[in-house]
Structure 1
Amino acid sequence: MSEAIFYKLAALISVVALGWFVGRMRWLGQPEPGGNDPARVLSNAAFYLFVPALLFRTTARLELAALPWLTLAGFFIPVLGLIVAVYFWQRSRLRAGAPVARPSVQAITVSFGNTLQIGVPLAASVFGETGLAIHITVVSLHALTILSLLTLLVELDLAREQAEAQGSSLLSTLLATVRNTVIHPVVLPVLSGLVFNALGLRLPALLDEVLQLLGTAVVPLCLTLIGMSLAYYGWPAAWRSVVLLALLKLLLLPALVLGFAHGVLGVGGMPLAVIVMLAALPSGSNALIFAQRYRCEEGETTAAIVLSTLAFVLTAPLWLALLSWMKF
């Protein structure tokens, strides 16, 4: 692992540790029983303000005609396939009384990678400017694709649960799902950005500057949030699930991308190496924001993010060595 990536990892862990210290000292206040704790307040700020600004700006500026669709398919089809598999697996094991958002929360933990704080310096240092360009292209669709699918799944589960409690019809359940999915702080800015893009409009300079400024707050805020969540929620008592989530993210997902992209679609060379390493990244902080949005498995998700980030120091060289041995 290069020195640049090591320092990025060290900086990331340092900010998380700083967030933990702030939460441990309760500098931002005590959690309220049955109410909002400071970590959730920060999560809401990210979910309702900073992340939507980032997503809208990204989709509004996306050059759809120039996208490498074969490479994107080689990455996103296995990723979305794993999301669906984990979702239905966890849903089949869901016990009575358990939060219905759990399958979706676990699915995002094993699929949403840390593509910015770790992914960008990794791609730049290992693959150079050409590889970094491919990485950024995939990242431009990363959040909007994964978050949109999982928002649809979790909102459908919540609407179904509410319908069963109230005795509502199937039609009203579907209408509630569509409404809650579209009018959502993740999906709505994505759809708005795509419409803006399709109309051939350009962001005014002032609006673009405002959106960029808001978007830059996502990374430090989310890293601090991970540390604060550790302080408020603690480490989960059951480690088996946390370890499994980390292994699925670090080992199974990149293996699926490698097998599908190369074996089925015939993607090779640098594009293949870039998307395999992108899939091998540790879980990203958006998984925690998603968990806190639906008040489900915040402690487990936080632990999985931290564990996968630490373990990435060991798994990243293994994947790089395998790709080098396979001459990609």
Structure 2
Amino acid sequence: MTTLFDVILPVFLVVGFGYLVCWRKWLTEVAVDGVMRFAQNFALPVLLFSAIAKLDLGANYNPLLLLAFYSGALLSFALGTALSLYWLKRPAQDAIAIGFVCLFSNSLLLGVPITERAFGPEALVGNFTIISVHSPLLYTFGITAMEFVRARGHNLSMGRVALRALSGVLHTPMVIGILCGFAMNLLTLGGLVMPEGFWAAVSMMSSAALPAALFGLGGVLYRYRPEGEVRAIAMCCCISLLLHPAVTFGLGKLFALSVAEMRSAVVTAAMPPGVNAYLFAALYGVAMRVSATAVLVATGLSMVTALLWLSLLP
């Protein structure tokens, strides 16, 4: 119970405050969109830039950590897509969008603050190792899968489909922040020393990122009404909140990950689908109602399931 009040509740209180403010009309939708635009397009990319720039790339990139997390993610996508096609009888494009909901954990907005509150700032190294490839890898994977489905009957070459996917990923602000972080990391290793004022400004922007994003997330979630196919929503919640972390936990034990790596991998895997899962569906205009509702319902349920997974971690 202490974990609930000290670790999980503060994060969701900020989300709930954003929800309350939007519900009571104390901020307009335009204002909430402005908060989220600031967070997603500027503050969060700066946070990612700072974290990746300071990572010890040689020491922290354990391939087994990434394999444990992303095996669970890709299995979740495959199962969500297959069940959508053959159980829910959804069109192929809908199935890809629903599979993406099962695939894309809210690794940054919820995974980072919950890990930090549970285990301290020093525990975030594994989180940022996962996050450094999260958006580039999963967006590329999802966009490529969708473009291949859409390309059927249009005689588009594999190269052109791949180019579309790569172009879409490289225009994402968070991916730009990650790539700039890698560039700064390599330049620093080469002897570049940035002035202290630069890092102070980066720290100021980074400190605003998570509170603004969590508050804005609450405002955005208010717009999503709990409606849509119950079976599809339940499936997304079960896969993202239970299957993904279970696979990651099992593989982490098999690979003998360190305590810190297990914490980062399992907590990140246990997070609900992020708003980006809905934005992916909206980008293609398919399965938007199911995606939006799954994000809302899973975010609420994750208060309970996150407590379960935290109780299993050392």
**TM range, normalised to the smaller chain?**
0.7 to 0.9
SS at 1:233's partner residue?
A: coil
Partner of 2:212: 221
Q: TM-score scaled to structure 1, two decimals? A: 0.76
Superposition pairs for residues 266-281 of structure 1, below 5 Å?
Answer: 266-267=256-257, 270-271=259-260, 274-275=263-264, 278-279=267-268, 281=270
Structure 2 match to 1:326: none
Corresponding residue for 2:271? 282
Q: Which consecutive residues of structure 2, in runs of 5 or more, have no partner in the other structure?
A: 283-287
**Greater mean deviation of Cα atoms: 53-62 or 97-106:** 97-106
Question: Judging changes above 3 Å, is the alpha-carbon distance between structure 1 residues 256 and 150 closer, same or farther for their aligned structure 2 residues?
Answer: same
The 2-side partners of 1:117 and 1:137 are apart by 13
Judging changes above 3 Å, is the alpha-carbon distance between structure 1 residues 21 and 278 closer, same or farther for their aligned structure 2 residues? closer
What residue in structure 1 maps to residue 100 of structure 2? 104
Pick from 78, 83, 91: which aligns with 1:88? 78
Tell whether the 8 Å contact from 2:53 to 2:181 is kept in structure 1 after alignment: yes
For the aligned residue pairs, the C-alpha RMSD in angstroms reads 3.2
Q: Which amino acid aligns with 1:11?
A: P
2:112 pairs with 1:123: no
Tell me the alpha carbon deviations over residues 66-93 of structure 1, each in whole angstroms, 9 at most, x when there is no partner: 32x5xx4443212211221222333343
Deviations 1:147-189 (A, max 9, x none): 2211112332454466558654333222222222223212222
User: Could you say which residue in structure 1 is the equivalent of 2:14?
Assistant: 15
Q: Distance in 2 between matches of 1:221 and 1:116?
A: 14
CA distance in 2, matches of 1:161, 1:84: 18
1:63 to 51, 56, 65: 56
What CA distance in whole angstroms lies between the structure 1 residues aligned with 2:298 and 2:115? 18
CA deviation digits over 1:175-223, x for unaligned, max 9? Answer: 2222222232122221222122123234432332222222222222222
Identify unmatched segments of 5+ residues in structure 1. 31-36, 125-131, 324-328
Quick one: percent identity of the two aligned structures? Answer: 18
**Contact 1:156 1:177 (8 Å CA) reproduced:** yes
- State the shift of 1:112 in Å: 7.0
Higher helix share: 2
* Residue identity matched to 2:197: L
How big is the shift at 1:53?
Answer: 1.0
Count of paired positions: 298
Verify: 1:212 aligned to 2:203, yes or no: yes
**Structure 2 counterpart of 1:98, which letter?**
D
- What is the TM-score normalised by the length of structure 2? 0.79
- Residue correspondence of structure 1 range 146-161 to structure 2 within 5 A: 146-160=134-148
Q: Secondary structure at the match of 1:114?
A: helix
Q: Quote the offset at 1:316 in angstroms.
A: 3.3
- 4+ runs of 1 displaced by more than 6 Å? 110-113
